[in-house]
Structure 1
Amino acid sequence: MSSKHMKHVLTWLRLSHQSVAILLAAMIGIFSAFGAGLIRIGVPWARENFIQSTSSFMKTELILFLFPLFGALATYIFRKMIDKELRDGQGIAEVMVSVQEGRGRIPSKDLFINTMGSMISLIAGLPVGSVGPTIFLTAGLGSLFSTFTHVSPMKARTYLSCGAAAGISALFNAPIGGMIFALEMILGEYRSGYFSLIIVSSFSASLTSRWLFGNVPVFTVPPYTMYSMWEILFYALLGILGAFLGLFHSHVFHNFQKYWRFTHLPQKLILFVSALFVSFFGLLTPLIYGGGFPAIEKALMGQLSLTLMLSLLFLQLIGNSMVLSAGFFGGIFAPILFTGAMLGGSFGMMMQLFFPTIVSQPGAYALVGMGAALAATGRAPMTAIVLLFEMTNDYRMILPLMITTVISFSLRDVFDEYSIFTMKLRHHSKYKWVAVRKYH
């Protein structure tokens, strides 16, 4: 539809441009909720059905071991079919580039490639996140609406951000967290002109998601409380550990990227080797497979041992960095939450061993650890505080969340100004200006 035809339609319907913008924002939120549901429900359904259909002639343990290898083969064939070398930054970083370049557009081909490639990785059980692909998909839907309505680049940036906010809102049942995420991480600035449309999109996505899947968040979080104000000191210490976890995670990811380039190995061999490592990791603990949401929930419930949480922390961090830098599709957002939950849960359990009269709920430290990791690794303190607060709906945890995330973010900022998303872009001369831009 051309701009001229759109003007005639608006005149006939007697709708102002602002009314149309609000209507489009609501539609982006609704469609984004369905898109988020496709990944949230479709991937586990496809994986479980594939396992059940093959378990009649193959042991489940063997199926789980071979799944990542099948994923490597499928990804290699998919890359050959599309004949496209995707640059580093596909996912949340790519959405940042689309916004900051001023065009606010995600090509529909990239949208299809990233969504299908990420679903292959997730179904194969590779340690990649589903949040990043979901955000890319929902932001891409916002971009499609911009293309269809022929809006200005400024409005296109807004609609793309509306889609990103809707993705977080629908996935985590957190409309305020989705709004903050879009403003803090995607747009990188707070302007009153963006608020109304992003709020409408985030609200409509959350409402649609609740209608589709019920008022159920991604994680089941028990009620937490602080039994002693002395725990504030422990949470502050967790913030310091979270800052160093963020630095470590970012540099491990970057070093794997450099390592694969240094080896000059064929793409198919790099995919196979990284998938084989994941298969062996899975022999140690099946909780490493996939985005890790079941393991996070167990940590929040206090159902994992100290040794297992420490093992999962390093296996997920290494596995996610290895497979994404090798060329698999997928996200980093969920693995950041995963490593933070394991760090916080193991730290809380150790504090409980030494101070049983002060620390009674190690799961609370797993929750706050997620905020610390997101603040440090993703450099998104406001998103971390609001998103995790909405997940608990408990004001008693807001003080530990605030203190831990602020300390984690501030200390990380002393050592490195890049997030793990922008770090992937700083070595590309074309996109370096996006990486060094102060988002927070």
Structure 2
Amino acid sequence: MQATRLTTFLQRLGRPGGAPAMLLWAALAGLLGALATIVFRDGLALMQRLLVGHSGSLVEMAAALPWPVRIVLPCAGGVVAGLFLVLAKRWADATPPDYMEAIASGNGQVPVPQTLLRSASSLCTIASGGSIGREGSMVQLAAMAASLIGRCARFDTARLRLLVACGAAAGITSAYNAPIASAFFVTEIVLGTIAMDSLAPMMVASVMANITMRHMPNYKPTYEMPPFPDVTGGEVLLFALLGILAGLTAPQFLRLLATARRQFQKSALPLPARLGLGGLAVGIISVWLPQVWGNGYSVVNSLLHHPWAWEAVLAILVFKVLATLFTVGSGAVGGIFTPTLFVGATLGYLFGQGVHALLPELTAAPSAYAIVGMAAFLTAATGAPIMAILMIFEMTLSYQVMLPLMLACVIAWLPGRGTGLSMYEITLKRQQEYQARARLRGTLMQDLIRPAQTVVAQDASLARMMDMFRAHPVKYLYVVDANGRYQGVVALRDLAGAPETTVAAEVLQRDQLPLITPEMALDQASNQFHQHHGERLPVVASLADPLLLGVVYKTALLDAYTRLSREEFPGLQS
């Protein structure tokens, strides 16, 4: 009864249309998104207390455990996480489980059973030391909450997808304390376009989520940024070099992740065994380096505030990447956003140590390079420079960071544009669509020309034209002069009742049909067919020299579209 009343209330609240009503719904999505992330954090703390008797930093937890437990715990957690994923697969339906697909190409419905089971799997992986971010499940839960209230209010598909996007932005805000960047994350990465109609509600949801999180007890930002120093003019070039380094290394990191996933899939092991194997590898590494446990928050915060030896930073970078490859490759549920920030921070710190050793009087502390390295590496991995710039700016709240930050991010973005790699599958799909459209635009009509069988001379008799119409089921005959140049068409309807002495030139229509030229691209030719609803159009050498070369059939254009779609999206044909 109470559920029915709640549904009725939500439906009434959703009736007013327009932007103001959507902003109210976005605020509600922001509130619920923040609460969903809090539930996940509390669940993680509860699991830590059950496992080791207290909650807190996973790195400190690992360091306090005996080495046999460090090996066994991630392995056991991986096995249990795999069992939850097996259950999630049994609940699978036609609805895509990922919130990004629900927003970008789905109907806005985020499946509840799958989301809860996958989140439970993520909890097991993270609490037992898996090297993966917790933000993935947080955002998924926030998006699910927004989807639920939208479905209760019976939103149409477009509004439901926007509300889910608001929930996702709220989840990212709750994880990183960056409301502006969180809204841009969804618009730049998930939607692929920045429009005020969608950005405004996401901004409201992000602000509401941030306000909610700040009112929670024991609240503190994820990353505690130190003051950013003033950067002299010459040092800006060093940050540009850091951008180049990030732009070249981030695609390699993504390639390693893809390779790890393929290798684990080739093993044909069941999911629990795969995740257990990945956890075992992390556990073995943590015997020597407990810092590989978790998402790396505590290590990055330590780098930002304390000096580290370069050997220690390099060792942690290498083995943390290995631990992440084993965890993500095994199929564990979680985010790779935070591990990406970790790699960027350590890479920037090492770069900063190098330039500071060479030019100690002219360069800032290595922590400044670690801050910019986080954004530059994130830009190269996601292809979203605006989001990365805003996120680090919001974390530091320093205008001094903006010049090196913008320069490094833009430079880091350039090398990754042509690699076809991205941290998120939705970005790869969008890149494939752009490539497909570019190929469609590049397909020229000269490849689709066929002989014109319905051509008559200007002096063709009525009998000759009628014979041609009887032989071919067409509405028009193409008329050419003695040199084969196109003059116009003769329509079948114009020959009804015509005297027997009629010749083609007497009933000629010169501008009846749009013309196609060989250098026209596929989209241009499609526009010509939109002007004429027939099945074929004449092809001439050029408008200045209308030598008739043949015809192009509408079916040939459709075949070209289909063929290119199969090449770009082979999965659609399976």
Matches within 5 A, 1:7-86: 9-10=12-13, 18-48=19-49, 50-52=51-53, 59-84=65-90
Select the residue among 383, 386, 390 that pairs with 2:390: 386
Deviation at 1:282, TM superposition (A): 0.7
Select the residue among 334, 338, 342 that pairs with 1:334: 338
Tell which deviates more after alignment, 41-50 or 321-330: 41-50
Give the TM-score taking structure 1 as reference length.
0.88
User: Which secondary structure does the structure 1 equivalent of 2:246 belong to?
Assistant: helix
Matches within 5 A, 1:262-411: 262-411=266-415
* Aligned equivalents of 1:74, 1:230: Cα separation in 2: 53
Larger Rg over CA atoms: 2
Tell me the alpha carbon deviations over residues 49-83 of structure 1, each in whole angstroms, 9 at most, x when there is no partner: 5213799xx95443333220111221233234445
Q: Indicate if the aligned counterparts of 2:91 and 2:113 stay in contact, CA closer than 8 A.
A: no
Deviation at 1:228, TM superposition (A): 2.7
Q: Indicate if the aligned counterparts of 2:228 and 2:368 stay in contact, CA closer than 8 A.
A: yes
Matches within 5 A, 1:65-144: 65-84=71-90, 94-144=98-148
One-letter amino acid matched to 2:371:
L
1:421 and 2:434 are equivalent in the alignment: no
* Aligned equivalents of 2:421, 2:329: Cα separation in 1: 18
Tell me the alpha carbon deviations over residues 327-358 of structure 1, each in whole angstroms, 9 at most, x when there is no partner: 22111111110111110111111111111112
Deviation at 1:166, TM superposition (A): 0.7
Select the residue among 230, 233, 237 that pairs with 1:229: 233
* Aligned equivalents of 1:8, 1:66: Cα separation in 2: 50
Deviation at 1:8, TM superposition (A): 7.8
Deviation at 1:370, TM superposition (A): 0.6
* Aligned equivalents of 1:438, 1:386: Cα separation in 2: 26
Tell me what 1:239 maps to.
Answer: 243
Aligned Cα root-mean-square deviation (Å):
2.9
Summarize the Cα distance change of 1:437–1:308 in structure 2 as closer, same or farther, 3 Å threshold.
farther
Matches within 5 A, 1:170-189: 170-189=174-193
* Aligned equivalents of 1:85, 1:266: Cα separation in 2: 17
Q: Indicate if the aligned counterparts of 1:220 and 1:297 stay in contact, CA closer than 8 A.
A: yes
Q: Indicate if the aligned counterparts of 2:76 and 2:276 stay in contact, CA closer than 8 A.
A: no
Q: Indicate if the aligned counterparts of 2:251 and 2:421 stay in contact, CA closer than 8 A.
A: no
Q: Which has the higher helix share?
A: 1
* Aligned equivalents of 2:326, 2:174: Cα separation in 1: 29
* Aligned equivalents of 1:401, 1:142: Cα separation in 2: 33
* Aligned equivalents of 1:86, 1:307: Cα separation in 2: 46
* Aligned equivalents of 2:92, 2:383: Cα separation in 1: 24
One-letter amino acid matched to 1:189:
T
One-letter amino acid matched to 1:79:
L
Tell me the percent identity. 26
1:216 and 2:212 are equivalent in the alignment: no
Structure 1 runs not aligned, ≥5 long: 427-432
1:255 and 2:259 are equivalent in the alignment: yes
* Aligned equivalents of 1:190, 1:380: Cα separation in 2: 12
One-letter amino acid matched to 1:420:
M
One-letter amino acid matched to 1:421:
Y
Deviation at 1:265, TM superposition (A): 3.5
Matches within 5 A, 1:152-163: 152-163=156-167
User: Which secondary structure does the structure 2 equivalent of 1:280 belong to?
Assistant: helix
Summarize the Cα distance change of 1:110–1:85 in structure 2 as closer, same or farther, 3 Å threshold.
closer
Tell me what 1:429 maps to.
Answer: none
Deviation at 1:303, TM superposition (A): 3.5
* Aligned equivalents of 1:17, 1:244: Cα separation in 2: 45
Summarize the Cα distance change of 1:41–1:80 in structure 2 as closer, same or farther, 3 Å threshold.
closer
* Aligned equivalents of 2:310, 2:41: Cα separation in 1: 29
* Aligned equivalents of 2:381, 2:246: Cα separation in 1: 8
One-letter amino acid matched to 2:422:
S
One-letter amino acid matched to 2:241:
L
Deviation at 1:213, TM superposition (A): 4.1
One-letter amino acid matched to 2:31:
I
Summarize the Cα distance change of 1:7–1:48 in structure 2 as closer, same or farther, 3 Å threshold.
closer
Query: Which one scores higher on RCO, CA 8 angstroms, separation ≥ 6?
Result: 1
Deviation at 1:304, TM superposition (A): 2.8
Summarize the Cα distance change of 1:302–1:240 in structure 2 as closer, same or farther, 3 Å threshold.
farther
Q: Which has the higher strand share?
A: 2
